[in-house]
Structure 1
Amino acid sequence: MSLVVGSASHHEVRQDGGNPSHDEDRQDGGSPRQSETIIAVQARQRRRIAQLEEQLETLEAGREAKQKQVNYYMAQGRALRRVVALFDNVEDLVAENDRRYDDSQEDQDTTLGQDRLQVGYVVLTQTLPWFHKKGCALEYDDYLHMIKMLRHGADSARGDDTSKLKTLVSEWINREFKPDPPVDPEDKHSRGFTSDACGRLLCPAELDWNNPAVKAGIRDRSDGYVVTDLSFPAYLYDKYTTNPDDLEEGLFKGKILLQGYKAVFTSPSSARDVEGDGDGTDVIRNNRRAKKSSSGIKVKKHVAEIIKMRKVTPRSIAYIACQVRFALSSITSWRSVDGDFDYVQFWETIVDFFERPPGREAHRRIDNLLEWWTRHVTYIADQPELNSRF
């Protein structure tokens, strides 16, 4: 009897699943092997999550590094229109330099335009010393991306300067000439030859704007009075007038031209210190005093410091000449041609005037003129540590 009971009890235990401890395991999630499997899966999931997080961090770091590189290229590109080439692209300069290293072109004569491009490439490598080495090391797609970002920065800087000078030029004209009505800082339609003050500055230097016949002829675009890039406008000259017997006298010494240069390459406030016949020493002294007083304070760098210019260059003068001319004009958006006036030809004429003087005496005059500019643009005379550049 006891055997039957014992057997029945044993049978009941087997029906219930055996060992009570196994019942607890089932309630907790299954057999020991299943529990181990779950733990292993969870461990793998944690490792995968950690791996994905690491990959995400790597991607974000790479994206951040790429963005920093893009920002760097764009910042460096801001110098290109200003000091290298206003209208030529980097690709054009590189292509001309490459052509010169082609043996098949070694003895071939070059044109004036090709020589201008080659000089532009030299200025490019002086302005961006890393460009040649970096360009040679990059894959083609990365190289194209770099060029695109440089161009974007260059065009952005040109647009910023155009916007800045639009307002500043009107302020300078109103302060100096006191026209009635004043030149509107926002409305460009009232500028150009319709404005007496702007017309005086845009008038070809060999003509007298105060002569009613000249003024009417220019406004009507009559024969003999069509204004083109072949004549230097009055704003390029000292006191905005020229000597009919010597058209180089006072050329590129115009006050508003110098103001425009300082506003772009140093600061708008520095443009107020322009004096026609000064040597810049007072402002240099003020700059040194300001440096001492601001010792230990982080000061925003101006364009000349950023691109490490130590002297005024021909192409930077040509750039400002075009920007000031545009600010005086009535056209509302940047373009290379304004009626009969071609800005590309104008820029090239000024560059050639400085870079291709005919003869030793002309070279001497150009050197003296550039020294005059360097004295007047005060940041340069006060930066002896930059003697290795330009």
Structure 2
Amino acid sequence: MKNSERKENKVFRELLRLVPGLETRLMESSEEQVISIADMIQKGANSARADDTKGMKSAIIDWITPRGQSLTPHIHRNVKSGRGFNHERTGALLCPAGLDWANTEIKAKLVGGQIQVAGDQWPLLLYANYTYDAEDPWNGLLRSGLLVNAFKHIFTSPSSVDQEPKATRSGNARIHGMRSVTRASITYVATQARFALTSAQVFSRSDLVTDSERFYNTILELLNDPDEREEVELLMTWWNR
């Protein structure tokens, strides 16, 4: 079985676990009905992702604005053109680890597009205090405050970001029986947060500018790498605390 087939099989098994009665329904359905069921599941996933993308676009501006201050120039909550490497704050967070945003030459090349950032060049927004440790790449990786806020926003409730639970309905995690943070949920949140900071208008897996699919896959591959098990277990313990 190819690696991609193994991944798909794992996702399918998880889907059967999450949706009671789905396996029986599939086994009893005609080919046409199976295609219809798959279509409905895909539409539901697309709709949920679109809701997350829309909510994050606005909320992330609050999280990256220093308390009691304002961003200069101002970033509109519902407009993306002023984000990405076009803005000092979002540019610093999107700057690939190992590159110095404070270096005027590097900054100019990122702004001008002479440096193209691939999905496997992870940005500083993933690291605690937005600081990359070249001597220890695991130090602070996937532990930034921005990611924690993004996770709460999507899986608990938007109001839980401020630690003031005002929501009157259960969050996504509780609704779907999610009792702990998962590798895939961290990866998904990182992908959504990164996209929200870019100037890209439409979330698309085939978008070569944001290269979101490669970004998502490379993080998930690291978190599922048996050789990194010890570091990943420490990371999962940190998140679940």
Instruction: Name the TM-score, length of structure 2 as normaliser.
Output: 0.92
Question: Percent of counterpart pairs with the same letter?
Answer: 31
Match of 2:97, SS state, is coil
Of 42, 46, 64, the match for 1:173: 64
- Structure 1 consecutive aligned stretches of length 4 or more whose deviation exceeds 6 Å: none
C-alpha distance in 2, partners of 1:311/1:178? 35
Tell whether the 8 Å contact from 2:84 to 2:198 is kept in structure 1 after alignment: yes
Summarize the Cα distance change of 1:199–1:353 in structure 2 as closer, same or farther, 3 Å threshold.
same
Cα distance per residue 1:181-205 (max 9 Å; x no partner): 2221011100010011111111101
Question: Does residue 119 of structure 2 align to residue 250 of structure 1?
Answer: no
C-alpha distance in 2, partners of 1:161/1:250? 25
Cα distance per residue 1:106-162 (max 9 Å; x no partner): xxxx33222222222232223224322221122333322222211111111111111
Of 228, 233, 240, the match for 1:367: 233
Q: Partner residue of 1:146? A: 37
Tell whether the 8 Å contact from 1:203 to 1:209 is kept in structure 2 after alignment: yes
Partner amino acid for 1:137?
Answer: E
Alignment gaps of 5+ in structure 2: none
Deviation at 1:318, TM superposition (A): 1.3
C-alpha distance in 1, partners of 2:237/2:48? 26
Q: Partner residue of 1:91? A: none
Instruction: Name the TM-score, length of structure 1 as normaliser.
Output: 0.58
C-alpha distance in 2, partners of 1:200/1:126? 41
Deviation at 1:340, TM superposition (A): 4.0
Match of 2:226, SS state, is coil
Alignment gaps of 5+ in structure 1: 1-109, 274-285, 291-297, 376-390
Cα distance per residue 1:316-342 (max 9 Å; x no partner): 111111111111010112222444442
Q: Partner residue of 2:162? A: 272
Deviation at 1:312, TM superposition (A): 0.8
C-alpha distance in 2, partners of 1:246/1:126? 37
Q: Partner residue of 2:8? A: 117
C-alpha distance in 1, partners of 2:86/2:119? 19
C-alpha distance in 1, partners of 2:44/2:66? 33
C-alpha distance in 1, partners of 2:80/2:235? 32
Summarize the Cα distance change of 1:372–1:126 in structure 2 as closer, same or farther, 3 Å threshold.
farther
Q: Relative to total residues, which structure has the larger helix share, 1 or 2?
A: 1
Structure of larger gyration radius: 1
Question: Does residue 126 of structure 2 align to residue 260 of structure 1?
Answer: no
Tell whether the 8 Å contact from 2:200 to 2:210 is kept in structure 1 after alignment: no
Out of 194-203 and 213-222, give the one that drifted further: 213-222
Match of 1:231, SS state, is coil
